[in-house]
């Protein structure tokens, strides 16, 4: 049994550099929506001690002194580059689990143990040549160890980007696990880290040595699985098809502050429309809708307000109109005037399969069929003529919307739009 975890180094920055060779070797960050916080850092920026999530305005001085280049996030580009990268990696194994935009697991069972390292190098080389992205490869008997091996491959130059865990001498394995803090273990979040530290478990090695049965009692089955995986016992299977999302959300920060209930309602309606599309695309219905609004927590001199309302529906639905109505109720209840709102969002909750839906006593089958037909038509029109072609008027009719996101320094959609193609200078 062998599993590889392949992920790209500084994925967003690396995508940008493919089309901007001038950014090679220079400190580059990619900022979150609205150019708020750092979401990707080049190695040069990491070396300056800039941490993930730093608000961009905190970095102004350093950026000026060190010449840091800040780019707005260009998810169109990253998604296309990700699809290409995953396509290339899928040629190395019939079983691939895409875990996030820039990482995937590959099931390598059946490969001879002494070929694994070679295979890792081949995958790394192919992705580098075909799409220009640098990737690291960790290979081990379990997903949890593959994650750690990947970490080692990236952090320690002597591994040249590929680490096969089982090829390390046992003494080295122990030493590495003793060096790594327990927070590096896949699935161990901040809360668990604190609790583990309280019980004296500091390093990955400490956790590996803990008693699985006891830890299951103290924490959960997931903790026991992590410990067993650290010992090389596979407990977490490859997921071929991701389960339908249990929660669907759509939220954005505004490009400028929003104060009026009308504009706030417009934004919430638009997010609701988008969330409902995602819901129908995965063939689900939702039983409740949660809406949140909040002011900008960084503007400490202004009055702060955070509010969330959840509205339960009478009957699980996938009808945009039902969600819009629920969103309206939530907003009316929580809106306070005189505040500068910075962000709003919509979550669809209690998601279940539309097929398993029971008939509603208070709606006639005919009405329901009509509603479904309307939604299908809506989705088809938008799929054919572009998203947003046909949508409820409450989501705002003006383009661009005054409150839409700021993306001051976004690179072109080099790979997906004719007007945005990368340029080659023939001089």
Residue from 242, 297, 402, 408 binding other proteins (CB under 8 A): 242
List of residues 6+ apart from 40 with CB closer than 8 A: 10, 11, 12, 13, 29, 30
How far apart are CB 101 and other proteins at their closest, in Å?
5
Sheet architecture: strand order including 341-353:
248-258, 341-353, 284-295, 306-317
Q: Closer to other proteins at the Cβ: 75 or 305?
A: 75
Q: Which stretch binds other proteins (CB under 8 A): 168-176, 234-242, 290-298, 303-311?
A: 234-242
Q: Under the criterion CB under 8 A, does residue 390 sit at the interface with other proteins? A: no
- The C-alpha atoms of residue 57 and residue 286 are separated, in whole angstroms, by 39
In angstroms, what is the minimal distance from the CB of 80 to other proteins? 5
* Nearer to other proteins among residue 22 and residue 366 (C-beta): 22
Whether 290 contacts 419, CB under 8 Å: no
Interface with other proteins includes 75 (CB under 8 A)? yes
Question: What kind and span of H or E run contains 136?
Answer: strand 135-140
- Quick one: DSSP state of residue 92? G
State in angstroms the smallest separation of the CB of 140 from other proteins.
19
Instruction: Say what the alpha-carbon torsion angle 411, 415, 421, 422 is, to the nearest 10 degrees.
Output: 70
- The residue range among 81-89, 191-199, 225-233, 314-322 that interacts with other proteins, by the rule CB under 8 A, is 81-89
Which of 112, 213, 239, 381 contacts other proteins by CB under 8 A?
239
Strand bridging mode 69-72 / 284-295: unpaired
User: With binding defined as CB under 8 A, does residue 376 bind other proteins?
Assistant: no
Q: Which one of residues 96, 226, 295, 320 is an interface residue with other proteins (CB under 8 A)?
A: 96
Q: How far apart are the first and last CA of the chain?
A: 53
Of 157 and 386, nearer to other proteins (C-beta) is 386
Whole-angstrom CA distances from 402 to 259, 273, 397 are: 12, 18, 11
Stretch that binds other proteins, among 20-28, 154-162, 169-177, 338-346 (CB under 8 A): 20-28
CB of 363 to other proteins, least distance (A): 27
Segment interacting with other proteins, rule: CB under 8 A, options 34-42, 213-221, 272-280, 361-369: 272-280
Q: Is 418 in the site for other proteins (CB under 8 A)?
A: yes
Per rule CB under 8 A, is residue 78 in the interface with other proteins?
A: yes
Can you give the length of the chain in residues?
427
> In which region does residue 32 sit, left (phi positive, over 0), alpha (psi from -120 to 50) or beta (all else)?
beta
> Should residue 366 be labelled a site residue for other proteins when binding is judged by CB under 8 A?
no
Positions in 166-225 near other proteins (CB under 8 A): none
Q: Which residues pair with 336 in a beta bridge?
A: none
Selected binder of other proteins within 124, 274, 280, 410 (CB under 8 A): 274
Choose one: 19-27, 134-142, 156-164, 359-367; the region binding other proteins (CB under 8 A). Answer: 19-27
- Do you find a cis peptide bond into 400, omega within 30 degrees of 0? yes
Q: How do strand 69-72 and strand 28-31 relate by DSSP bridges?
A: parallel
Helix (H, G, I), strand (E, B) or coil at 263: helix
Taking the C-alpha atoms of residue 151 and residue 73, their distance in angstroms, rounded to an integer, is 25
Instruction: Tell me if 213 sits within 8 A of 223, measured CB to CB.
Output: no
Among 159, 205, 341, 414, binds other proteins (CB under 8 A): 414
From residue 103 to residue 132, the character string flagging contacts with other proteins as x (rule: CB under 8 A) and all else as - is: -x------------------------xxxx
Under the criterion CB under 8 A, does residue 24 sit at the interface with other proteins?
yes
- State the residues that interact with other proteins by CB under 8 A: 19-22, 24, 75-76, 78-80, 82-88, 90, 96-101, 104, 129-132, 239-242, 250, 274, 277-278, 281, 383, 387, 414-416, 418, 421-427
């Amino acid at each position: 049994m062998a599993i590889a975890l392949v992920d790209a180094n500084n994925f967003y920055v690396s995508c940008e550099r493919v089309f901007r060779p001038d950014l090679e070797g220079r400190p580059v960050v990619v900022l979150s929506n609205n150019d708020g916080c750092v979401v990707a850092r080049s190695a040069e920026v990491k070396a300056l001690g800039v941490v993930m999530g730093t608000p961009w305005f905190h970095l102004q001085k350093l950026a000026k002194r060190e010449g840091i280049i800040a780019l707005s996030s260009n998810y169109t580009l990253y998604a296309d580059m990700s699809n290409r990268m995953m396509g290339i990696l899928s040629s190395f194994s019939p079983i691939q689990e895409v875990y996030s935009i820039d990482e995937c697991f590959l099931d390598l069972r059946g490969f001879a143990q002494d070929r694994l390292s070679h295979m890792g190098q081949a995958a790394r080389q192919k992705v580098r040549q075909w799409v220009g992205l640098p990737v690291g490869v960790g290979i081990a008997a379990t997903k949890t160890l593959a994650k750690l091996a990947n970490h080692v491959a990236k952090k320690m130059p002597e591994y040249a980007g590929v680490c096969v865990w089982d090829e390390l001498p046992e003494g080295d394995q122990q030493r590495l696990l003793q060096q790594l803090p327990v927070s590096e273990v896949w699935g161990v979040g901040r809360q668990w880290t604190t609790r583990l530290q309280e019980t004296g478990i500091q390093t990955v090695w400490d956790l590996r040595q803990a008693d699985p049965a006891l830890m299951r009692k103290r924490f959960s089955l997931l903790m026991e699985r992590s410990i067993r995986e650290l010992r090389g016992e596979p407990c977490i299977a490859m997921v071929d098809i991701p389960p339908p999302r249990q929660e669907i959300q759509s939220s954005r920060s505004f490009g400028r502050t929003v104060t009026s209930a009308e504009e706030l309602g417009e934004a919430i309606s638009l997010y609701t429309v988008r969330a409902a599309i995602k819901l129908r695309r995965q063939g689900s219905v939702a039983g409740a809708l949660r809406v949140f609004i909040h002011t900008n927590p960084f503007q400490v001199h202004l009055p702060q307000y955070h509010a969330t309302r959840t509205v339960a529906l009478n009957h699980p639905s996938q009808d945009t109109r039902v969600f819009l109505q629920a969103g309206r109720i939530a907003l009316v209840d929580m809106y306070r005037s005189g505040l500068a709102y910075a962000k709003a969002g919509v979550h669809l909750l209690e998601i279940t399969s539309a097929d398993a839906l029971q008939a509603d006593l208070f709606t006639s089958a005919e009405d329901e069929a009509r509603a479904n037909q309307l939604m299908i038509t809506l989705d088809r029109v938008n799929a054919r003529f572009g998203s947003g072609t046909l949508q409820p008027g409450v989501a705002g009719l003006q383009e661009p919307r005054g409150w839409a996101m700021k993306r001051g320094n976004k690179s072109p959609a080099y790979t997906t739009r004719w007007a945005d193609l990368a340029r080659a200078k023939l001089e």
